[in-house]
Amino acid sequence: MSGGLVPAWVAWALGSAGFAALTAILAKLGVDGVASDVATLIRTLVVVLMLAAIVVATGQSLAPSAVPARSWLFLLLSGLATGTSWLCYFRALKLGPASRVAPVDKLSVVLVALFGVLFLGERLSGINWVGVALIAGGVILLAIR
């Protein structure tokens, strides 16, 4: 996926966006008639099984010692954040329309930009900040009645 019209990371990010959109619609249908926490557990088990199959099929090392301690720490914290995010997301989908829940969830884009600057030392240009503001404004417009 590199060397084409777009960088590989863009292609993968577009794939992520497309599957995230499907996730919202399928999850909204899936939480009907089931507790949101149970729905989150089922989804998580599917993710774990799928990723385990990919790791095994591609011959990647499963040895815990192959992962540096610092990576373990941040991946564990990331996992806790992901699980908490999914619990919140599925509860929101249970209570509200997907067409309004998903855009509010995408405030994460704004927060990642801010956190990237504050904690990772990343720099955004003026036009990047305009984009961040437009995303925030779009979320507000999509979330209000």
State mean pLDDT over 71-75. 95
Can you give the pTM of this predicted structure? 0.82
Domain membership of residue 80 (yes or no) is yes
Residue 28 phi, psi dihedral angles, 5° rounding: -60, -45
- Comparing CA positions, the residue from 109, 111, 110, 91 lying closest to residue 101 is 91
Overall average pLDDT of the 84-109 stretch: 93
Q: Kindly report the length of the chain.
A: 145
**For residue 124, which phi and psi values (nearest 5 degrees)?**
-115, 140
Which domain covers residue 80, as residue numbers? Answer: 1-96
Task: Say which amino acid occupies 38.
Answer: V
pLDDT reported for residue 31? 93
Q: Kindly state whether residue 7 falls inside one of the protein's structural domains.
A: yes
pLDDT in tens, 2-52: 567 888 989 989 899 899 999 999 999 999 999 999 999 999 999 999 999
Task: Give domain status of residue 101, yes or no.
Answer: no
Number of domains in the chain: 2
pLDDT digits (tens, 9 = 90+) for 105-136: 999 999 999 999 999 999 999 999 999 999 99
**Same domain (yes/no): 92, 113:** no
